[in-house]
Amino acid sequence: MSTLSSVRAFTRTDVPSFSLGRAVALMAGAVVVSVEAVMTRSELARSRRQLAQLDDRLLRDIGLDRGTARYEATKGYWS
């Protein structure tokens, strides 16, 4: 029995290629990716708000000036 004929023997033609389990798994994956994206953006926005509150001494410690910190802090949620 060749490899191709053994693969065909295991292929079931009575089962549709679409299954509810696969659809649910794909939807769950999309939800997880979306939630992770929102959480990442929220964390970035929080970090930018905290950056805006740092004084000049702390900004110097991390190598930023006030203008750069202000520019980063004013970026929107989506950027």
Q: What are phi and psi of 6, to 5 degrees?
A: -70, -35
Q: Around 78, how many Cα atoms within 13 Å sit in the side-chain half-sphere?
A: 0
- Which pLDDT value is given to residue 21? 86
Tokens in use for 22?
Answer: 């696969």
Q: What is the pTM assigned to this prediction?
A: 0.61
pLDDT for the residue 16: 60
The distance between the two most distant Cα atoms of the chain, rounded to a whole number of Å, is 77
Q: Which parts of the chain sit beneath pLDDT 50?
A: none
Residue 8: the pLDDT is: 58
pLDDT score for 27 = 93
